[in-house]
Amino acid sequence: MQVEVVAIGTELLLGQIVDTNSSWIGQELAAAGLNSHYQTKVGDNPDRIRAVLRQAIERSDAVICCGGLGPTQDDITRELIAELMGPDMSGVEMEMDETIAARIRDMFESRGRVMPENNLRQAMIPVGGSAIPQQPGTAPGLVCPVGTSGEKVIFAVPGVPYEMKEMVIGTVIPHLREMAGDTGVIKSRVLRTWGQSESGLSEMLAERIEQLDAAGNPTLAFLASGVEGLKVRITAKAEDEAAVEAMLDTEQAVLEPIIGHVIFGQDDENMEAVVIRLLTERGLTVAVAESLTGGYVAGRLCAVPGASKAFQGGVVAYQNEVKYKLLGVPEGPVISEPAAVAMAEGVAQAMGADIGLATTGVAGPDESEGKPVGTVCLAVSSADGAVATTVRLPGDRERIRQFSAITLLDLLRRLLLETA
């Protein structure tokens, strides 16, 4: 079974939008055990889209076509797919799906708006095709059989990521696995790590990867995800849900003694959610003083549901005078571990928190206080004392700020686990 991905939109070619959809779809296909050897981007040009779709369906069993399902004149994916359907790919007509039309009208009315008539274009379905049941937005996805006996299929999904993902997970992947005759259960589990590079993790797990490659099931894959950490994905296949979960449990038990010190969460659990959970379980509260991160740490903590149980508040002490007057930092250089400790202690006292966190450093573009760009001092202050560290972080200004935030939260996580 060969599956191809075609992303449609001139904005993708111009770099105005980064094509994250194709990457995500590729990950999901791989996790489902489906081969995908080609991904193509094409602009909003009928002739070029026709050529790309025809080539894709000729060399692959299925095509996932992403984008071009909107209500405007340049959204022509539906019509061009219809041209490839029917006997000998001679084309079929389009017809109005009244159920979808009513659904789109209801979406507008529920928001107190009148539906523009051109939105009805989105309810036009190629004869012989069907709409994907999941429809979080106004654009329905399509399942369109292609070929003499409909042995191949083109799926059309919107370019809006959250709409596309719901359709791919809910309909496209199950349909493809059914086409492939795959009746087993495939599941993945993601171990989220921080503090080790991809090459470092690969080296630590080299022997285990070699063993898994020889066995073929389960498999391991690495995914560098920036401020979300480095993900280690375990994918297993078995005859039923219980068996596949058992395989995942077994493999996780093998991996944890090897890399357990850098694993902070699992699946969708991010660093800030882990920290809030640990603080809540221990009945502790935290406050944050931020210089170079400018509120980024506080923002991440506030994004966690239930954060108010543990997070007291934060101070963005960007100017040195604020550090001196509000947080009690001794006058002088502020890019130092003692300054970070004073910030952490000051914010904990000001906010009445059990724990104080602090960031100070050089985000760039220029060095400061004789310290190179990427120099960051982090501190955690609590009843057990203060811990400070200096790190050198890579990347541009934004990456340094983001990496500072997750590194500080990871420092707190490790300290909480050590004192449990």
**DSSP state string for 125-139:** EETT-EE-S--SSS-
What pLDDT band is residue 122 in, cutting at 50, 70 and 90? very high
DSSP result, 244-310: HHHHHHHHHHHHHHHHGGGEEEETT--HHHHHHHHHHHHT--EEEEESTTTTHHHHHHHTSTTGGGT
| pLDDT tens digits, one per residue of 303-312 | 999 999 999 9
Structure tokens at 392: 């050198």
Mean pLDDT in the chain?
Answer: 94
DSSP state of 168: I
Burial class (CB within 10 angstroms; exposed 0-12, middle 13-18, buried 19+) of 26: middle
Burial class (CB within 10 angstroms; exposed 0-12, middle 13-18, buried 19+) of 125: buried
What residues does CATH 3.30.70.2860 cover in the chain? 185-266
Torsion angles phi and psi, residue 233, rounded to 5: -100, 125
Contacts of residue 55, Cβ cutoff 8 Å, sequence gap at least 6: none
What pLDDT band is residue 147 in, cutting at 50, 70 and 90? confident
Instruction: Indicate the pTM of the whole model.
Output: 0.76
Q: Is the dihedral of CA 232, 237, 238, 239 positive or negative?
A: positive
**Interval 256-282 mean pLDDT:** 95
DSSP state of 184: S
pLDDT of residue 267: 93
DSSP state of 117: G
Answer yes or no: is pLDDT of 93 > 90: yes
| pLDDT tens digits, one per residue of 310-366 | 999 999 999 999 999 999 999 999 999 999 999 999 999 999 999 999 999 999 999
pLDDT of residue 296: 96
What pLDDT band is residue 186 in, cutting at 50, 70 and 90? confident
Coil, strand, or helix at residue 182? Answer: coil
Q: How many Å from the N-terminal Cα to the C-terminal Cα in the chain? A: 50
CATH number among 2.70.70.10, 3.40.50.1370, 3.20.20.190, 3.40.980.10, domain 3-179 = 3.40.980.10
- Cα separation, 377 vs 24, in Å, equals 35
DSSP state of 372: P
Burial class (CB within 10 angstroms; exposed 0-12, middle 13-18, buried 19+) of 15: exposed
Which amino acid appears at position 366 of this protein? D
Q: In what order do the strands lie in the sheet with 142-146?
A: 39-42, 3-8, 62-66, 152-157, 142-146, 130-131
- Residue 217 CB coordination number (10 Å): 15
> What CATH class has 272-418?
alpha beta
Query: Whose CA is closest to 67, among 3, 17, 120, 15?
Result: 17
- Cα separation, 57 vs 55, in Å, equals 6
According to CATH, what is the number of the domain 185-266?
3.30.70.2860
Over pLDDT 70: what percentage of the chain? 100
pLDDT of residue 191: 96
What pLDDT band is residue 204 in, cutting at 50, 70 and 90? very high
**Interval 139-148 mean pLDDT:** 92
What residues does CATH 3.90.950.20 cover in the chain? 272-418
pLDDT of residue 111: 86
